Amino acid sequence: MIIETAPAKINLALHVRARRADGYHEIETLFAFLRDGDALTLAPGDLSLAITGPFAGNLALDDDNLVLRAARAYATAFDVIASGAFTLDKRLPIASGIGGGSADAAAALRALARRDGIAPDDRRLFACAEQLGSDVPACLLGVTARGGGRGELLEPLGGVTGTAVLLVNPGVAVSTAQVFAGWDLVDRGAIPSGDTLGRALAGRNDLEKPARALAPAIVDVLAALHDAGGATLARMSGSGATCFALYADDAARDRTAAAIRAAHPRWWCLESVLT
């Protein structure tokens, strides 16, 4: 039995630069990953998927699930029969801007590679990841990185490992396609050079405005994070609605988490660190 963590992903900054002819968008982003996320177990058997965990009921169990799609893509790339009994412990909210489905697909590719003795940096794995979604290559790499193109052109970065982070989601699912469709087509420029945290602080998330139009609760989450004080950076991740805040230490993070849980008991919070 093989167990892989599917860590939550955040975008420390996300600049949308252009709408491409192929329907995707040219972006520049800073990916970072948390210690915590979903968990995926792979056992011998025919290809199958079971879903457990607090968000299992929010995820459709069908052939289009990204774990099964990843297994089929892997089988084609490595000329093997698609197989493996997967169990996904769904701990992250879906459609929330933190790469849950993409992280699950990447975890499936890693698990299958471990099973078959394939090197984790095998180019065929990344080719599979690119087929599955724009965030999947970054989730397969699993380290802080600058992402270009539609997110698949990756440059590993450092400098934020061990940073305390708090995720907050108001319980609202947001369509990535609808958020990107609401982008105003204005290129506001590249992420500046420098160290990773400095680049994040000088950056922005160009999807925040269209996401707020679809999910006004994002405004409330960001206000709660800012009002609590102590955050080095507070911003929406990806296409929303999850927002994050970075802290100098765990104690400041935990104080904010406790205050937000008390004031908004229906919101989802996760205290973690960046890896």
Distance CA 275, CA 2 (A): 21
- Which residue among 9, 36, 104, 206 is the active-site one? 9
Query: Residue 161: helix, strand or coil by DSSP?
Result: coil
Catalytic residue flag (residue 9): yes
DSSP 21-37: TTS-EEEEEEEEEEEEE
Q: Pick the catalytic residue: 36, 104, 135, 206?
A: 135
Rounded to whole angstroms, how far apart are CA atoms 43 and 70? 16
For 110, 123, 207, 234, the CA distances from 70, given in Å and listed in that order, are: 10, 15, 27, 33
135 catalytic? Reply is yes
Query: Which DSSP string corresponds to 185-209?
Result: -----PPPSSSHHHHHHH--BTTHH
8 Å CB contact between 133 and 150 = no
Residue positions annotated with a catalytic role:
9, 135
